[in-house]
A and B are shown apart, each in its own frame.
Chain A
Amino acid sequence: MGIQDLIKKLENELDEVENGSLTPETSIRDVEWWSSMHALVIIALIDTEYDVAISGADLKTIFTIQDIFNVIQEKKKNGSN
């Protein structure tokens, strides 16, 4: 998987996001539409698309799209689901 693949999936999943508007540097918490519901949507997407379980504690370390990508890579490498 590449980060562009993740970005495309997030853009499809999040209603408020227009295609092509997210970059690896986008800070998900700073966008005006961010709510706790979006955290759930992102956890669900990562779980169903990448088979990686993200906990509430993991989410605290995530700020940008790049951070999400890194956590997925890290968890895949460690096989820690």
Chain B
Amino acid sequence: MGCTIKHIEYHLSSLKVTNKDLSFAFPNYSEDEIYKKIGVKTRFNTEKNIIGSDLAFLAAEDLFNNSDYKKADVQFLLFCTEGLDYIAPMTACILQDKLGLNNNIGALDLPAGCSGFTNALGMAKAIVESGQSDNVLLLFGDTPGLVSHPNDFPLRALFSDAGAAVWVEKTDSNQLGNFVYGVDGSGAKHLFVDHSCLRNPPNADWLEENADVGGMPRGQMKMNGLEVFSFSLKEVPLLVNAILEKNKLNFEDIDLFVFHQASNIILKSIQKKLKVSDEKMAYYIEDNGNTVSVSIPLALKKAEREGRIKIGSKVLVAGFGIGFSWSGTVLKY
């Protein structure tokens, strides 16, 4: 017994931000310079109080509308986000009600950021293959824009707010390979949302300090780009080799490498270091930026549409980032 990904949908937020828009906000950068530096043409931000679970909800509705899977069939719901509705209850409970799913299902939150897709997929495989459930609805919704300081150029130029829905189901053959996981919490300080929760809440001083930009009441994402870059360059090639080894595959066996779409320069450097050919490397960042946990399902969907993934394809997926944390596997189509 195994399991496989049966259907993917993604949803980008409604507010489209072009490089022209950004160059108005940051007059030191021209449209061309922004594209050259960041490699992104458009990114998407939420508006009208839309948050991560709303984006996940919209992606889930698309999944039910565009596939044969029914709400009544869902046996387990995993919701992956770094922007929960509340500290408690779990947002997965709220989504169960909002989507009108049955009461006799499992529902859990999984906050994981850029390694969110591969972490959640690994958990879905465990749930299905241990016989706890015949299917898992994986929902993703991340809103880095809500915790980015308006004057933080790299964050505003790079990140997007998006949602995704992925249907994972029990199958006879095993199409989700063995998983590799890793974590190095000493990197937590290099990418985190400051003043966001119980350890360091957004107190009166913080709100006052940021009064000119609305107080940053949800906290502020702080990223040390150099450290994140060094981590990615060191850890992702090791992760790829570990995934190949654990799945008894050679580098040449992989038809497409779908990494978390962190940034153009990170992807290019990893591609160069691993010597991945252009046709086997997935770049789906230019039109939508870094969509955090949504980036891999978005890339898989686009690659499928473009015919880059076919029956028989072996696709290596690897998520990495905040934590620091990383994980990945091979998808056999």
Q: Which A residues are closer than 8 A to B by beta carbons?
A: 35-37, 39-41, 43-44, 47-48, 53-56, 59
Contact = CB atoms under 8 A, between A and B. Distances in A.
Contacts of B37: 35, 37
A39 B226 contact: yes
A40 B263 CA distance: 11
Interface of B: 37, 154, 224-227, 229-230, 233-234, 265, 268-269, 272-273
A54 B231 CA distance: 10
Nearest to B231: A55
A50 B54 CA distance: 46
Contacts of B224: 56
A56 B233 contact: no
Given A35-B37, A56-B227, A59-B226, 7 more contacts: A40-B226, A40-B229, A41-B265, A47-B233, A47-B234, A53-B234, A54-B230
Nearest to B38: A37
A44 B269 CA distance: 6
Contacts of B225: 36, 40
A54 B268 CA distance: 17
A55 B233 CA distance: 10
Scoring A36, A37, A40, A41 by chain B CB atoms within 10 A of each residue's CB, the highest score goes to: A40
B233 A44 contact: yes
Nearest to A15: B36
A55 B227 contact: yes
Contacts of B268: 44
Nearest to A58: B230
